[in-house]
Structure 1
Amino acid sequence: MRFENKVVFVTGAASGMGLAAAEAFAAEGAVVYGADISADRLAESFAAVPRSVPVPLDISDGAAVRAAFERVDAEQGRLDVLVNAAGVNAPNKAALDQLNEQNYEGFVAMKEGRQHRPEFLEHISDEDFDRVVRINLHGPFFTTRSAAPLMKRTGGGAIINFSSAAALMGVAMPAYYPASKAGVLGLTRETAIELAPFNIRVNALAPGAVDTPLFRQSDDEFIDFLVGLQPIRRTATPAEVAQTVLFLASDEGSYYTGQTISPSGGLVMQ
């Protein structure tokens, strides 16, 4: 098994791509610490994951993140892989409902040959922008800052950050999401350079349509439209994306650092 005796820390581990990554690493022999803000959902999801440790955690809280990695150090004395999968596309349910409504209105207008002018920018509050950026960008910074000393002491490691296809192409949506996910790419490139001398590799994934609970909150007809924009006209499963995470964390991916890979069915081509 590729990750036997390795220690892995995964954020956003209660569902979706984070849970799939945690399950994949556990199946390869790793001890997996899974962090998520939803303690109940995390405990339920991790009940069937072998060699796993649920860690209720708000990754937007820098002090709480530091304490979580101190726990890993105390219990394991090492860290080999960090997967930053936690993220949100809206700060609260009201904002998410508004986004879905605007998306659907735009879709209907296009079908009817009408022009649609989405308006997001002037309706974003300071608090909403700050909340999304703290989760999507501050969170990976906090975890990377705490993980790096452990990995240096271990002799190296791998960090995989989840960005989004929305960071690589123009998308009409509230600015906090593409801005925060583009920031993740900058964080990835800088830390890849800084940590390379310590044998720590840092890469990013920018997924497109992946069949997660978050993605399925959109209208089915709109989801079909989005998938239809891709050359590969289907959603990915979280387990498929998890295999790319395993590759980037493994010895097979040892020559990759500072890269952004977009599992998006060809929506993004570089």
Structure 2
Amino acid sequence: MKFAHHVVFVTGAASGMGLAVARAFHEEGAVVYGADISAESLENSFEGLERAVPLAFDIADSRAVDEAFARVEADHGRLDTLVNAAGVNAPNRAALEALNEENYKGFLAMKEGRRHDPEFIEHVTDEDFDRVLRINLYGTFYTLRAAVPLLKRNGGGAVVNFSSAAALMGVAMPPYYPASKAAVLGLTREAAVELAPFGIRVNALAPGAIDTPLFRQSDDEFVDFLVGLQPIRRTAAPEEIARTVLFLAGEDGAYYTGQTISPSGGLVMQ
């Protein structure tokens, strides 16, 4: 097993890509600490994974993040890999429903040959913008900051931060999401330069249409439309993304740092 005796920390581990990543590392022999805001979801998702440790907390809370990594330090005194998969595309249920409704209006207008110009920016509140930035950007920074001493103590390791294809292309949507995900790329590059002398590699993923519960919250017809924009006209399974994470974290990816890889079916080409 490629990651036997490794200690791995995965955020957003209760579902979707985060859960697929946690399971993939576990299958390869790692001890996996999985973080998510829902204790019940984590317990259910980690059932039967004997080397998986569920830790329920809000990654937007820096004190809670520090406490979680203190647990890792107490248990193992080191860390091999950090995967920041936690993220949201809306601050709450109402905002998500409004986004889905606006997207569907645009989709119907296109089908009917009408023009539809969405309006997002002026309707975003300070509180909504702040909440998404605190999860997607601040949470990524908090976990990175807490992980670095453990990664240095380990003599090196890997960090994989989840961004989004929306950070690499123009997308009409509430600006807190692409802004936060683009900021993650800047954080990734800075950390890659700073931490390379310590043997710590830092890379980012910018996924497109991945078959997760978050992606499937949109109307099925609209989802099919989005997938149809890609040269590879299908969604990716979360397990496909997990295999990319394992590549970046393992010896095969030892020459990669500061990179943004976009598994998006060709939606993003660089």
Q: TM-score range by the shorter chain?
A: over 0.9
Pairing of 1:51-62 with structure 2 (within 5 A): 51-62=51-62
Partner of 1:89: 89
Could you tell me how far apart the structure 1 residues matched to 2:35 and 2:76 are?
16
Structure 2: state its 5+ residue gaps.
none
Could you tell me how far apart the structure 1 residues matched to 2:97 and 2:140 are?
26
Could you tell me how far apart the structure 1 residues matched to 2:184 and 2:18 are?
16
Displacement over 4 Å in runs of 4+: none
Partner of 1:211: 211
1:33-83 CA distance string (max 9 Å, x none) = 000001100110001323100000100001110110011000111100000
Partner of 2:10: 10
1:92-116 CA distance string (max 9 Å, x none) = 0000000000000000000111000
Partner of 1:259: 259
Partner of 1:239: 239
Could you tell me how far apart the structure 1 residues matched to 2:245 and 2:50 are?
19
Partner of 1:65: 65
Pairing of 1:70-149 with structure 2 (within 5 A): 70-149=70-149
1:207-253 CA distance string (max 9 Å, x none) = 00000000000000000000000000000000000000000000000
Number of equivalent positions: 270
Could you tell me how far apart the structure 2 residues matched to 1:122 and 1:163 are?
24
Partner of 1:179: 179
TM-score, normalisation: structure 1? 0.99
1:64 is paired with a residue of what secondary structure? helix
Could you tell me how far apart the structure 2 residues matched to 1:175 and 1:30 are?
37
Pairwise CA distance, 1:166: 0.1
Partner of 1:161: 161
1:169 is paired with a residue of what secondary structure? coil
Could you tell me how far apart the structure 2 residues matched to 1:261 and 1:50 are?
31
1:258 is paired with a residue of what secondary structure? coil
Partner of 1:27: 27
Could you tell me how far apart the structure 1 residues matched to 2:98 and 2:52 are?
37
Partner of 2:248: 248
TM-score, normalisation: structure 2? 0.99
Could you tell me how far apart the structure 2 residues matched to 1:151 and 1:250 are?
14
Letter in 2 for 1:175: P
Structure 1: state its 5+ residue gaps.
none
Could you tell me how far apart the structure 2 residues matched to 1:60 and 1:39 are?
16
Could you tell me how far apart the structure 2 residues matched to 1:235 and 1:57 are?
30
Could you tell me how far apart the structure 2 residues matched to 1:68 and 1:151 are?
15
Could you tell me how far apart the structure 2 residues matched to 1:172 and 1:88 are?
16
Partner of 1:201: 201
2:32 is paired with a residue of what secondary structure? strand
Letter in 2 for 1:149: P
2:159 is paired with a residue of what secondary structure? strand
Letter in 2 for 1:112: E
1:140-192 CA distance string (max 9 Å, x none) = 10000000000101100000000000000000100000000000000000000
Could you tell me how far apart the structure 1 residues matched to 2:38 and 2:264 are?
27
